[in-house]
């Protein structure tokens, strides 16, 4: 497949993954709001650097799994259980969640914001299983090959998509920060709904293979 298409597939998939308000995009927006656009962008660049590493690891892991279908079957069942538990956790957490205000440390150095972005992105490991699952799905449709150039194109697209969404949050935070869907409670509902859909799709794949 054309490398440009693979790049845009990675971009779109990463965009979708970063759309729900979360630790990274909300911090990028608040840093920009309080300390200026440049520091928000520096934070976002730090995030995207780690996203490149995480997406590459996910693609290599996905390549291994496609060559070992027996491993995929086991992981599908494990993933189904995990996604169900995550869905229940976030839905129950959302019901108990009180409105909280995100607190960001007062770091004024642009380089400090860059490293803060790297750190927060490093502890946010969700992109690895998410990207591994999506690359396997793309490969199953024949839309992606696991050669070096395809993986690099996909990684570049994922990093670009992440940066674009963080950039959107930075500039439009003033318009969305007062909306109810940016609250922690509604964020938990969104995450619970997403993982619930993924769990349902995984269950359908398991049943289809029986």
CA distance 165 to 127: 14
For 81, 87, 183, the CA distances from 132, given in Å and listed in that order, are 17, 19, 29
Supply the pLDDT for residue 49: 95
CA distance readout (Å), 97 to 90, 92, 94, 104, 111: 10, 9, 5, 20, 34
* Region at 157 (left for phi over 0; alpha for psi -120 to 50; beta for the rest): alpha
Domain locations in the chain?
A: 3-73+102-177
CB 102 within 8 A of CB 27: yes
pLDDT tens for the chain, residues 1 to 210: 678 899 999 999 898 888 766 778 878 888 888 888 888 899 999 999 999 999 999 999 888 877 777 666 776 677 778 778 777 876 776 566 555 444 444 545 556 888 998 998 888 878 888 888 788 878 877 888 888 899 999 999 999 999 999 998 888 775 655 555 445 566 567 666 766 777 787 777 778 766
What is the reported pLDDT for 160? 95
The pLDDT of residue 15 is 86
What is the C-alpha separation between 116 and 52, in angstroms, rounded? 16
What is the Cβ-side half-sphere exposure of residue 54, based on CA atoms within 13 angstroms? 26
* Three-state secondary structure readout of the chain: CCHHHHHHHHHHHHHHHHCCCCHHHHHHHHHHHHHCHHHHHHHHHHHHHHHHHHHHHHHHHHHHHHCCHHHHHHHHHHHHHHHHHHHHHHHHHHHHCCCCCCCCCCCCCHHHHHHHHHHHHHHCCCHHHHHHHHHHHHHHCCCCCCCHHHHHHHHHHHHHHHHHHHHHHHHHHHHHCCCHHHCHHHHHHHHHHHHHHHHHHHHHHHHHHC
Residue 56 pLDDT = 94
97 vs 91: CA distance, rounded Å: 10
């Amino acid at each position: 497949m054309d490398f440009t298409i693979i790049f845009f597939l990675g971009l779109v998939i990463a965009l979708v993954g970063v759309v729900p308000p979360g630790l990274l995009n909300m911090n990028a927006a608040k840093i920009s709001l309080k300390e200026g656009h440049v520091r928000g962008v520096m934070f976002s660049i730090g995030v995207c650097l780690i996203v490149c590493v995480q997406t590459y690891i996910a693609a290599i892991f996905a390549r291994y799994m496609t060559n070992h279908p027996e491993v995929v079957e086991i992981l599908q069942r494990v993933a189904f259980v995990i996604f169900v538990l995550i869905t229940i956790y976030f839905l129950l957490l959302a019901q108990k969640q009180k409105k909280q205000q995100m607190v960001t440390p007062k770091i004024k150095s642009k380089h400090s914001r860059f490293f803060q972005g790297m750190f927060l992105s490093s502890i946010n490991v969700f992109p690895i299983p998410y990207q591994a699952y999506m690359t396997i799905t793309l490969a199953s449709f024949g839309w992606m090959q696991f050669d070096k150039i395809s993986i690099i194109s996909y990684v570049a697209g994922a990093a670009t998509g992440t940066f674009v969404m963080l950039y959107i949050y930075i500039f439009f935070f003033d318009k969305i920060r007062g909306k109810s869907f940016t609250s922690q409670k509604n964020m938990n509902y969104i995450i619970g709904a997403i993982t619930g859909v993924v769990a349902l799709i995984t269950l359908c794949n398991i049943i289809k293979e029986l």
